[in-house]
Amino acid sequence: MGSNWHWFVYILECLDGTYYTGMTWNLANRFDQHISRLGSKYTEKHGVKKLAYYEEFDNLESARLREKQLKSWSREKKRKLISGEWGKDW
């Protein structure tokens, strides 16, 4: 993969108010998969309301680390990140 590749870590808000965190190199395509209920077992079950948040990375390793970090966060902490109440650096 060349240096022109970018990776995205994203948070979806599901129809039931829960959040789903994922990672992809093609955000638009991946979102369409989730909307079609083909993106993951979780979004197939919970549905997708909207793309609530995303960050872009120049390399896969940084994206993986951030995805792992966000997945470990509480729903409230994710909500504050999405709303801008907290910064990205903690």
Domains along the chain? 7-83 (3.40.1440.10)
The pLDDT assigned to 2 comes to 46
pTM of the model: 0.89
Residue 37 has pLDDT above 50, yes or no: yes
The pLDDT assigned to 3 comes to 53
What pLDDT, in 10s, does the model give residues 38-76?
Answer: 889 999 999 999 999 999 999 999 999 999 999 999 999
Which residue pairs from 20-29 have beta carbons closer than 8 angstroms and sit at least 24 positions apart in sequence?
20/46, 20/48, 21/67, 21/70, 21/71, 21/78, 22/67, 23/63, 23/64, 23/67, 27/51, 27/54
Top-confidence residue, 67 or 90:
67
Residue 88 has pLDDT above 80, yes or no: no
Residue 80 has pLDDT above 50, yes or no: yes
